[in-house]
């Protein structure tokens, strides 16, 4: 089994720099949630020079719209949202001190360049494991934009939240490095199949 790095929030440069693409992590501490509707509102406040409802410095935002909580749980299923929807907003938030993002899928060149500049990291949560992920969420409170329902900004307390470092602070990107390896393995295996 892969060695799991245990990290706690808030993050800092040392924690982020030590994380490398491909690392499996368990995250403990407070994280925020937010999807595109909430991100849009945050950017509008920044554009107006107004204060934000949350402190971004050294924080992680999880791209999720959780399902309603069942009795005895802090939230319902909480699977990751496709991250590219937040790409237009992420560089501005990274410039404000955001250190980590959790989601699924590719990120734009602008986001990756901003991650390198600001020493930030992008984690992937496993799609399809939403109920399992929800078990690591111990507390949940809405901290902004309650009118957005599931897309409101929540503050979660998580214990051993499972994730994978997909893009590290140097810009190493598993979405770029790993597919060619599998393509080569498949090609090699096809070449080794004896002809009839």
Summarised one tens digit per residue, pLDDT across range 92-102 is 999 999 999 99
Residue 51, SS3? coil
Residue 192 confidence (pLDDT): 56
CB 170 within 8 A of CB 117: no
d(CA 20, CA 166): 8
**Banded model confidence at residue 1, pLDDT cuts 50, 70, 90:** very low
pTM (predicted TM-score) = 0.89
When the pLDDT of each residue in the chain is averaged and rounded to a whole number, the result is 90
Summarised one tens digit per residue, pLDDT across range 16-75 is 999 999 999 999 999 999 999 999 999 999 999 999 999 999 999 999 988 788 888 888
Summarised one tens digit per residue, pLDDT across range 120-132 is 999 999 766 777 7
Residue 16 confidence (pLDDT): 98
Average pLDDT of the segment spanning 156-160: 96
CB 92 within 8 A of CB 69: no
Residue 185 confidence (pLDDT): 56
pLDDT higher than 70, residue 2: no
Query: Maximum CA pair distance of the chain?
Result: 72
Residue 164 lies inside a defined structural domain of this protein: yes
d(CA 174, CA 186): 18
Residue 196 lies inside a defined structural domain of this protein: no
Average pLDDT of the segment spanning 1-18: 92
Alpha-carbon distances, residue 28 vs 16, 44, 131, 157, 169 (angstroms): 15, 30, 18, 7, 20
Residue 98, SS3? coil
CATH number for the domain spanning 156: value is 3.20.130.10
Domain count, the chain: 1
Higher pLDDT, 123 or 188: 123
Higher pLDDT, 67 or 105: 105
Residue 159 lies inside a defined structural domain of this protein: yes
Structural domain boundaries enclosing 66:
4-191
pLDDT higher than 90, residue 183: no
């Amino acid at each position: 089994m892969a060695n799991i790095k245990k990290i706690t929030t808030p993050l800092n440069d040392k924690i982020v720099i030590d994380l490398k693409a491909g690392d499996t992590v368990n995250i403990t501490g407070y994280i925020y949630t937010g999807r595109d509707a909430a991100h849009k509102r945050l950017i509008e406040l920044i554009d107006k020079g107004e204060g934000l409802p949350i402190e971004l410095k050294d924080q992680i935002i999880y791209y999720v719209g959780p399902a309603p909580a069942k009795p005895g749980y802090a939230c319902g299923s909480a699977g990751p949202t496709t991250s590219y929807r937040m790409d237009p907003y992420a560089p501005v938030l990274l410039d404000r001190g955001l250190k980590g993002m959790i989601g699924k899928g590719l990120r734009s060149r602008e986001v990756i360049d901003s991650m390198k500049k600001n020493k930030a990291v992008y984690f992937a949560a496993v799609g399809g494991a939403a109920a399992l992920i929800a078990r690591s969420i111990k507390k949940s409170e809405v901290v902004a934009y309650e009118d957005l329902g599931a897309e409101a900004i929540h503050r979660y307390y998580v214990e051993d939240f499972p994730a994978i470092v997909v893009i590290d602070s140097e810009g190493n990107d598993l979405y770029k490095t790993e597919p060619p390896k599998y393509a080569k393995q498949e090609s090699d295996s096809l070449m080794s199949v004896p002809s009839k």
